[in-house]
Chains A and B, each alone.
Chain A
Amino acid sequence: MTCLRWRPVPLATALAVAAWIPLAAGGATLAITNARAFTGDSAQAVDRATIVVEDGRIASVTAAGAVPAGAQVVDAQGAIVTAGLMGAGTQLGLVELYSLKETTDPAVSKGPLGAAFDVEYAMNANSTLIPQARADGVTRALSYPTGSASAPFSGLAAVLRLDDSPTLIERPRAGLFIVTGGIAAMQGAGSRSAQWQLIRNAFDEAKQYRPTGKVGGPRDQQLNRLDIEALRAVLAQRLPLGIFAYRESDIRQAVQLGQDYGLRVIIYGGTEAWRVADLLAAQGAGVVLDPVANLPATFDDLGVRADNAALLQRAGVTLAFFAPGIQLNHNVGTAIREAAGVAVANGLPWNEALRALTANPAKLWGMDDHYGRLARGQDADLVIWSGDPLEPASVPLAVYVRGEAMPLDTRQKALRERYDPRHAQDPWPPAYR
């Protein structure tokens, strides 16, 4: 194996380090030494850990472990190393500037696409949000549609891998999304009861559907062929069903739907999930929530509590975090870390908060066989942090996806260098920098 010889890099003092770590060639062995590794499995760090990466996968995480001969060595100098983070709910790859519709693709409002609306074809790997997310520690994301022409269905989500490739998509059609709740109902049929009836009818029709082989002609069903085929795939492959639900009554309906149709339900939002914690745990329904939510955003959220995450975790519910609002995508990396820190401030154990950003979303979205923990055989998505990753002021010093060091350049970095105060006396405009 031809390996790059590398000297230890003083990470703590060289923030630009990733820029001068050569991208490991495929097949190279990488050893990150002197790491404070949080594997995701244990709440205890592996101190002075050597993390050995072979062929893009983690070979070992060992306290004071030996460096394989010829490995490229990066000295983490005691810095915390975790798995790359996963944004459990984003529209990465689908949005640029929300106010410009021509740059946003997460929703469709007319035409035949309901449950069948599939975001995979719009993915933009050159979006300025992708390198920003990565530079903030995110290496995986679930990118979900936000609305279709057939509410309450939003369409099919994709799992992304934020490496430097032109595609982004690790798995298309990863799951189906549905939006329920008072305000969505108001816009739709007028009652949330109708939402649940429409959802149930859709799955019933999908179950009973038999292709006729003919085109056209009346049929006694609500759904078109495209939507039915999407729903049949969800039923047949047991794809996760992400259901936005906030009020206890809707969360209970979502759980019941999962039971009745054999679906794997993941609650998104989940403001009042703490009231249903035991049921969610018993049914294996995960919850993706926003830990900073401590105000009743709507009348669906009157039961909001700052310790929602802590209560759910204590009950045994699999938790992941997202950051709905302004930061959902543009600052996903800092926002979910800050949210996780806020969850810790409100009673969630630190390691569980880290898992909610890594191993747990991996489990919910069926990626845990290859991503989410620092363990042998897992993809080497690694972040070396400047400090505690749950402190939003911390930043990654280096980010690896499947063993490859990622560039940490962003559009914001170019701007901040252009306007560095050290240029203040430069008589030439910034356009020349």
Chain B
Amino acid sequence: MIAGPAAFSVGAGHGNVRGMSLPRRLRSAILLAVACSAATVATVATVAIAAAPATPATKPATPREPLPFALDPYPGTYRPMPRVDTMVTGATVLDGAGRRLDHASVLMRDGKIVAIGPELAAPAGVTVVDARGRWVTPGIVDIHTHLGDFPFPFASTDFNHSDVGEVTDPNTAGVWAEHSITVQDPAFMRAIAAGVTTVQVLPGSANLFGGRGVVLHNVPATTVQAKKFAGAPPSLKMACGENPKYDYGDLGRFPSSRMGNVYGYRVAFLEAKQYLADWEAYERGDKAEPPKRDLKLDTLAGVLHGDVKVHVHCYRADEMAVLLDVAREFGFRITAFHHAVEAYKIAGLLRQSGTCSAVWSDWWGYKQEAFDAIRENAAYLDAAGACVMMHSDSAIIGQRLVLEAGKAMAAGNRMGLGIAKEHAIAWVTRVPARTLGLGDRIGTLEPGKNADLVVWSGDPFSVYTLADEVFVDGALVFDRRDPRRQPASDLEAGLPSRGAAR
């Protein structure tokens, strides 16, 4: 994670927040890691779970209790906000599916995209948004955030008790990021104002297995359940490289090396394999009693069972290649490598494996494993036919994810790769949506898709452009010209930021 670096004026420099030396583990969380390590969370919730959840939400019923791994015992309560059928007209549209349409309109009805094209007539009763001279894209999807689990403002209590990660054990596959989320984090609000409509919130990267992520609609809500994206497949955050080996090695604990990291993965997956086999034996009726529930093994068995998507914080190409081998050994797929600054070195291997890379445009050098970052990373992967997208890991650059794509596109084009804006926009819309397993619902402006849509003041690849109107499921959740449609978190209520100068 890195809400920190971009957010904290490292006024006093790196390794410090405002002059204060950070504990090593938090430093790697917010300054070096950019990626997810964290401070300790003191209390581990003891969760009593019945062998069979009362309401199996996502899996069809089976003769016996369903496999518990993929069940969500805390179903979301999200409901779209009040909406009216709306047509955006006269815009330059990048539809996320690879097309650029000039002077085009997009019709949203009942929260869905129903039509898109240059010659649409507005049906009677539909609210029309005149977008002449403006641009329209799908809502932005950020696949790597710490919105809410590393909330603003950073507080001294976060030095040792940050909610971003449970850094008491290298395997905390049983913790869920959604249980750490401060919904009043103002960063959610800034992201809405920046056109970000869907986010994945991940645990930090201190651990080999950091825990489960959660996919949220980026709408204001007073509970996390009211933000959850129903039906989004569960995900697991893993980490390789420096964070786990330093965070635990510095304490004289396991792991302290990259080989230790890999041993840790294999031991855990071996155990999960047995756990899964036990459950399947029970399912078949070969065993009378179900295995004892284990929340860590639930997650890992879900990975082996194909229910849980695997997101791995990993910088170096050689380590990514080893992780691909581990996945092959245990028969699961790695959905995406995050940060992936050296992915360009193994673009062909990543194409063959079908594993995506989620990258920054240009961050480098803040830690040893980021020394070989190049700005052409995304473009080179794209040119090789590998799956690539932009991510933020930062509530600050997450507000300019299209600009991130633009920087990466420009770097590629300087190398002659000829990447068009209608292609690069997919790096922050269609590709992350598909990677989250939501490609049939969000990520493009095609009939039948959710009406998650942004009207930009101009070319979204320009630094001067702002999101004017943001729709989620057809509801206008942000309007730059209407102060009543500019959400602020409770934290911001009554603060001097909303007052006047003296």
Q: Is A272 a contact of B345 with CB atoms below 8 Å?
A: no
Q: Which of A154, A188, A297, A394 contacts B9 (CB 8 A)?
A: A297
* B18, A181: Cβ atoms closer than 8 Å: yes
Counting CB contacts under 8 A, is B154 at the interface?
yes
B378 interface residue (CB < 8 Å to A):
no
Would you give the shortest CB distance from B38 to chain A, in whole angstroms? 16
> Which residues of the partner chain B approach A109 to less than 8 Å between Cβ atoms?
21
CA distance A224 to B246 in the complex (A): 37
CB within 8 Å for A420 and B152 given contacts A183-B20, A184-B19, A338-B403:
no
Given the interface pairs A98-B366, A424-B384, the reply to whether A104 lies near B14 with Cβ below 8 Å is yes
* Contact flag A421-B13 (CB < 8 Å), given A244-B18, A338-B403, A412-B375: no
Cβ–Cβ < 8 Å partners of A154 in chain B:
12, 19
Point out which of B5, B187, B364 has the most chain A C-beta atoms below 10 A from its C-beta.
B364
Q: Which residues of B contact A421 (CB under 8 A)?
A: 347, 380, 383-384, 415, 417
Q: B199 contacts the other chain (Cβ, under 8 Å)?
A: no
Tell me if A181 and B362 are in contact (CB < 8 A).
no
Are A345 and B465 closer than 8 Å at their CB atoms?
yes
Q: Which of B1-30 contact A (CB under 8 A)?
A: 2, 4-21, 28
Q: Which of A182, A390, A393 meets B18, CB within 8 Å?
A: A182
For chain B, residues 363 to 417, give those with C-beta under 8 angstroms from any C-beta of chain A.
363-368, 370-376, 380, 383-384, 394-396, 399-400, 403, 406-407, 409-411, 414-415, 417
A65 → chain B closest CB, angstroms:
31
Residue in B19, B348, B495 with the greatest tally of chain A CB atoms within 10 Å? B19
Q: Is A95 in the interface zone, CB < 8 Å from B? A: yes
Shortest Cβ distance from B393 into A: residue: A326
Residue A325 contacts which of B5, B153, B375, B496 (CB distance < 8 angstroms)? B5
Assembly CA distance A275 to B502 (angstroms): 6
Q: Contacts A275-B502, A395-B414 hold; do A324 and B10 have CB atoms under 8 A apart?
A: yes
Cα distance A147–B380 in the bound complex, in angstroms: 40
* Chain A residue, CB-CB nearest to B497: A303
> A321 interface residue, CB < 8 Å from B?
no
The listed residue (B18, B242, B371) touching A179 by CB distance below 8 A is B18
For A390, the chain B residues whose CB sits under 8 A away are 463-464
Instruction: Name the interface size band of chain A.
Output: 35 or more
A118 smallest CB distance to B (angstroms): 16
Interface of chain B, main secondary structure: loop
B365 touches A96 (CB 8 A): yes
* Distance between B242 CB and nearest chain A CB, rounded to angstroms: 7
Query: Closest chain A residue to B28 by CB distance?
Result: A99
Q: In the bound complex, do residue A100 and residue B368 qualify as a contact, i.e. CB atoms below 8 Å apart?
A: yes
Name the prevailing secondary structure of the A interface residues.
loop
CB-based contact B364/A296 at 8 Å? no
Q: Which of B12, B21, B502 has the most CB of A within 10 A?
A: B12
The answer on a CB contact under 8 Å between B368 and A341 is no
B338 → chain A closest CB, angstroms: 15
Which residues of the other chain, B, contact A325 by a CB distance below 8 angstroms?
A: 4-10, 396
Q: Tell which of A277, A328, A331, A419 touches B344, judged by Cβ atoms closer than 8 Å.
A: A419
A287-302 at interface with B (beta carbon < 8 Å): 290, 292-302
**A268 to B5 Cα, complex, angstroms:** 16
A334 lies within 8 A of B7 (CB): no
Residues in A neighbouring B34, C-beta threshold 8 A: 326
**Residues of chain B lying within 8 A (CB to CB) of residue A299:** 153, 155
A295-B18 contact, Cβ under 8 Å, with A147-B12, A326-B5, A412-B364: no
Q: Is B32's beta carbon under 8 Å from chain A?
A: yes
Asked, given contacts A294-B190, A299-B153, whether A344 binds B464 with beta carbons under 8 Å apart, the answer is yes
Contact of B156 with A by CB under 8 A: yes
Q: Is B462 an interface position by the 8 A CB rule? A: yes
What chain A residues lie within 8 Å of B156 (beta carbons)? 183, 186
B477 lies within 8 A of chain A by Cβ: no
Question: A147-B13, A326-B5 are contacts. A295–B152 as well, Cβ < 8 Å?
Answer: yes
A391 at the interface (CB under 8 A from B): yes
Identify the closest chain A residue to B344 (Cβ).
A419
Residues on the A chain within 8 Å of B5, using CB: 325-326
Interface residues of A in 342-386 (CB under 8 A from B): 342, 344-345
Interface CB pairs A-B, < 8 A, 23: A97-B366, A99-B28, A99-B32, A107-B12, A146-B16, A187-B19, A244-B9, A244-B19, A290-B9, A294-B190, A295-B7, A296-B152, A296-B497, A302-B495, A330-B363, A331-B364, A334-B407, A341-B463, A344-B463, A390-B463, A392-B403, A419-B345, A424-B347
Please name the 4 residue pairs, one residue from A and one from B, whose CB atoms are nearest each other, closest first: A146-B13, A184-B19, A341-B463, A393-B410
Instruction: Give me 18 other A-B pairs in contact (C-beta within 8 A), A184-B20, A331-B362 excluded.
Output: A97-B365, A98-B367, A100-B368, A107-B13, A154-B19, A248-B496, A275-B502, A301-B153, A330-B366, A331-B363, A338-B403, A341-B463, A392-B463, A393-B410, A412-B373, A416-B376, A419-B344, A421-B383
Name A's B-contacting residues (CB within 8 A).
15, 91, 95-100, 104, 106-107, 109, 128-129, 145-147, 151-152, 154, 179, 181-184, 186-188, 244, 246, 248, 268-269, 271-272, 274-278, 290, 292-305, 311, 324-331, 334, 338, 341-342, 344-345, 390-395, 412, 415-416, 419-421, 424, 430
